[in-house]
Each structure stands twice: as structure tokens, then as C-alpha cells.
Structure 1
């Protein structure tokens, strides 16, 4: 592969049961369906959270110091993109078809609402809400054979974990997230009422980046049985997308939550 070809090549560091990873994966599929000529060349690379590959020295030091997925790397990028919204904005720069000018303000407003909360507060299990998410980076720091760089990276990840997750599951925090999620759903419902006339996508016959994000979130809320946060119109819209070839291409028919019947994530084929 030539240097020029390498600079056009991107890697999406991905876990198939990460909600925000799925948003990006679906966005890539929709962009490619809209215009294969402008679609960036993106390789999907598994980061197996079940085996803590996100806490490896390589991942923390070269990809994402926060140890999260998704992340996007390439020789063409000055630094990795480590936030799903940043990756989405990058994708829309590559493929403006995903944000039609006529709907830009509406898409931006609803995306702002979607990113005003972290969905984990709504989708985590009862025991994890009760006891919190273990700080595995802090636990790994007890190992004696860590390199200096790995130890420093785990220390940074441990601090991030405490800042991000320490208060996420208090009743007040969960209530605030639920209110923001309802605000997102209400605005999405209004957009569907105004623009969708029984067609597949929010704004008619062509998908946008908002379809990618909204559908993934609705799928996760459905999988964790939080339909109380969804309106009937939003659920009906999502059912149509779930039956589409585009959604099947992104998910390969899997739910957004891992379960033992799916087998080891490392063995999933296709990823």
C-alpha cells in the first residue's frame, strides 16, 4: 500500500455492543448507501471490552487515553477522534449528503439533545446501578509488571473513570437523564410528525446522520425495556428502520446487548 493510499484509510475501533459505536457504524452504512463515491474507506477493528483490550497499553497510549470506544484513527488525522459526536461530524464533512441543508437546523437541534445526556444511566443493569461500575483501571494498577507508560495511562484512565461514573447512578442523576431523554424523543417525534409521511427515514426517502444516532438509541432503549421513554410514533418509525437492509448490514441481526447465546465477541463473524 502506498503512502497516499494509507492516508486515505481509516480504522474504526469498535465494540459491537457499544451504543455509541453502533451509532457510528450505522452512520457509515447509511453514508455508503447514499453515495459510495464519497464514502470514506473505513476498516472496522474489534476492541474487545470483554477482554479489556481497551485498557491495554497500546490502546490507552496510541488510540484513546480514556479507554473508550468508538475511536477513529488514520494517518490523515492529526490525532485520533475519540468522541462519537466528533466522528459523526467528521463523517458528515466527508459526506455532506448526511446533513441536507434544508434540514440542517433540525438535525443539529435534535443531535444536541441526544448528546446532552449519557445513555448509560438509562441502560445499565439494576446491580450495576446499586453498586456502581468497578474501576478496573485502578485494579490493574495493583499489578507489579506494568511498564511505566502503561502505569501512567492506567492512572489517567482511573481518574477519568471516577469523574465520569462516580455520580452517574444516583436517583437525581438518573432522573435528570430521563428528563433529557424525553426531551430528545419529543423533538424527534415532532420532526417525524412534520416531515415523515409514512416513509422509511425521518425526513422521507433518504437517511441522515440523525437516523443513524436516533435508531441506535431507540434500539438500546427497547432492548432494556425502556419504551416508557418512547412515543408511539417514534417506536413505529424505528420498527421500519429495524426491518431495513441498512440496519441488518450494521448489526447483522444482533441486538444491541450482548448475551451468552451470541457466543464470544471475538468469534463473531461477520463483526
Structure 2
């Protein structure tokens, strides 16, 4: 295979219980179902957050210095894509079928609302919120035998952690996120009311990139029993999508949350 041929392959760095990883992978599945000829060739690579592989020297220095998933790498990319929305925009450039022109404005508006908040504030348990998310990068920086490059990326990750998570679970922050989540749900409900006539996807019989992100988020909110944020119409839509072959191709029958009965993530087969 030539180098040019190799560069057309992509790797999605992925954890199967990361909400934003699920959004991204679902988008890939929907795009492939819409048009297998334009679908990019993407292999899935586990980044086991339970074993802190996202904080490894290789991951922080070569993939994502923020230590998050998902991320997309390839020789065809100038640099890794390290945000789920950026990956989805890249995918939609490859597969414009995911953003039909006559639905583009609505899709963009609802996606903007979905990404106006971080869902972790809504999906983290009360006990975890009480203690906060530990800054493991700062703890790893206590080691004496770190290489200079690795130490620098851990410092970047530590700063990012403080900026992102330090105030996430304050009462004011959670109230703000809940309000934004309700705005997203209400606009999605309105779109379903206008365009969905008892069919599977938001706009009828063909999925869009919005289905990938919205359904995954709603699934997570339902898994953590935050139905108080959801309308009945939105829940019914999500239940239909979660029963689909496309969703099963992503989750293989698993919920969006890990639990001990599933065993070690590294042993999941298929991933």
C-alpha cells in the first residue's frame, strides 16, 4: 500500500462509556449507513479511561494534550482532531448527506444549543459531585522520573483540568447547565413536532448528524434518570433510536454507563 493510501485511514481514539465518544461513533455509523461509498475508513482504538491510558505519555504527547476522548488521528490530518464537534464537522465535510441543505439551519441551531453546556454537570452522581473530580495529572506530576516533554504535557493537562472542572459542580453552575439543557430539549421537541411524523429519525426516514449527538445525550440523561429535563416527545424519539440496528452497532446492547456486571472494559468484545 502506498503512503497516500495509508493516509486515507483514520483512528478514532475511543472509550465506550464516554458520552462524546458515543456521539462521534454513532455519527460514523449513521454516515456509513447513509452512503458507504463516501464513508471514511475509521478504525476504533480503545483508550481505557479506567486504566488512565488517556494520561499516558504517548496519548498526551501524540494524540491529545487535554487527555480527553474522543480524538481522531491520521496521516491525512494536519493535526489530531480532539473535540467531538470538530470530528463531526470533519465527517460532514466527507459525508454531506449528514447535513441536508434544507435542514442545515435547524441542525446548526440545535447543535449549538447541545454544545452550549457540558453534560458531565448533569450526569455525574451526587457523591462524585460532592468530592469533585480529582486532578490526576497534578498527582502524576509528583513523580521524579518524568521526561521533560511528558512533564510539560501533564502540566498542560493539569491546568486544563482546573479550568474545566473546578467550578463545574457548584449550585450556580449546575443550575445554569440545567437551563441550557432544557433550551436544547425544547428546540429538539419543536423540531420533532414539526418534522417527525412517527418516523425513526428527527427529520423522517433518514438520519442526520443531529440524531447522532442528540440521541446519545438523551440516552445518557435517561440512564442517569434525569427525565425531569426531557419532554415526553423527546423520550419517545430516543427510545425508538435506542432500539435501532444503528445504535446497537455502536453499543452492542450496553447502556451508556459502565457497571461492574459488564466486566473490564479492556475485555469487551466487540468494543
TM-score with structure 2 length normalisation? 0.99
* Cross-structure match for 1:221: 221
* 1:112 matched to 2:96: no
What CA distance in whole angstroms lies between the structure 2 residues aligned with 1:159 and 1:128?
Answer: 20
Which structure 2 residues correspond to residues 122-137 of structure 1 after superposition, within 5 A? 122-137=122-137
Q: Which residue of 2 aligns with 1:151?
A: 151
2:73 alignment counterpart: 73
Displacement of 1:88 after TM fit? Answer: 0.4
Paired position in structure 1 for 2:235: 235
Following superposition, the deviation at residue 2 of structure 1 comes to 2.0
SS of residue paired to 2:111: helix
Offset, 1:59 = 0.5
Give the corresponding residue for 1:9. Answer: 9
2:48 corresponds to which residue? 48
Q: Number of matched residues? A: 271
For 1:32, the equivalent position in structure 2 comes to 32
Distance 1:259 1:139 in 2: 26
Aligned partners of 1:263 and 1:4: how far apart in 2? 40
Write the distance in 1 (CA, Å) between the matches of 2:264 and 2:251. Answer: 16
Gaps of 5+ in 1: none
Superimposed CA distance per residue, residues 81-118 of structure 1 (whole angstroms, 9 cap, x where no aligned partner)? 00110000000000000000110000000000000000
TM-superposition CA deviations, 1:135-168 (whole Å, max 9, x none): 0000011112211111111111000000000000
> CA–CA distance in 2 between the matches of 1:182 and 1:147?
46
- Per-residue CA shift, 1:23-63, capped at 9, x if unaligned? 00000000000000000000000000000000011100110
What is the SS of the residue equivalent to 1:79? Answer: coil
Report the Cα offset of residue 254 of structure 1.
0.5
Structure 2 unaligned residues grouped into runs of 5+: none
* Mean Cα deviation higher: 181-190 or 2-11: 2-11
Between the aligned partners of 2:210 and 2:100, the Cα distance in structure 1 is 11
Mapped to 2, the partners of 1:256 and 1:112 lie a distance apart of: 23
| 3-state SS of paired residue (1:142) | coil
Secondary structure of 2:12's aligned partner:
strand
Deviation, 1:78, is 0.3
Taking only aligned residues, the RMSD between alpha carbons, in angstroms, comes to 0.6
How far has the Cα of 1:131 moved from its partner? 1.2
